[in-house]
Amino acid sequence: MTRIYFTLCIAVTTATLIISAAVFTNLPAKVPIHWNIHGQVDGYGSPGMAAFLLPVMMVALALLFAALPWLSPKQFEIDSFRETYWFLTFVIMSVMAYIHGVTLWSALGHKIDVPRAILAGLLLMFGLMGNVLGKVRRNFWVGVRTPWTLANDRVWNDTHRLAARLFVAVGLLGVPLLFLPVPLELLFVIVISGIMAAAIIPAGYSAVHYKKLQAQGQI
């Protein structure tokens, strides 16, 4: 499966570049590239920037993800969860391609609620990541990397089980909200607050959990 996910990362990146090149000449002189919390366009870019900035970033990110395992120090290698590592990479690359596709689709004149579509992509990404986060082992590149998780395997594993549940919960609870008649401003607050909570709570838990185990003499 590791090779499959790696190949899929290359395929997604290549497809994004090809599609961007194909639609480049059809893009308007000013392409909407940013929307505010009210769903209004508040940023424009040139056709070249809109078509190729994100795909080029995807290429750079793919190269970085390919290099990180080789850069890992001893005892923090990703060999024990390499398949999960490349699955997470594929999820991130796919969501980037999806967001890029939504932006281009809108720029080509098709009607789409871009902010809600992007929020849906982010929530799906967190849900998928959470589904496998518990399989990630101690390393310097992926996961909840705090001084306490990096110092102890048990703290790392317990923290990531908590983070996995929170990530999945954010995804499962957030996506249905996008289909309800909830004001976009409120949606942004709810979704971003949920994402921040899912990221911050495990970090705080890791410190408390480490100190508790230390006080009990288990560390």
| Contact between residue 124 and residue 167 where contact means Cβ atoms under 8 Å apart | no
In the chain, domain spans = 1-112, 114-219
Task: Report the pLDDT averaged over residues 186-205.
Answer: 94
Q: 34: part of which helix (H) or strand (E)?
A: strand 31-35
Model pTM?
0.91
In this structure, what DSSP letter does residue 73 have? Answer: P
SS3 189: helix
Q: What is the pLDDT of residues 120-152, one digit of tens each?
A: 999 999 999 999 999 999 999 999 999 999 999
Q: What is the pLDDT of residues 81-118, one digit of tens each?
A: 999 999 999 999 999 999 999 999 999 989 889 999 99
Residue 180 confidence class, pLDDT cut points 50, 70, 90: confident
- Rounded Cα distance between 144 and 167, Å, is 12
Scanning the structure block, which residue is given the tokens 């005892």?
A: 75
- What is the share, in percent, of the chain residues with pLDDT greater than 90? 77
Describe the crossing of helices 47-71 and 82-107 by its angle, rounded to 10 degrees: 180
Residue 76 confidence class, pLDDT cut points 50, 70, 90: confident
End-to-end CA distance of the chain: 36
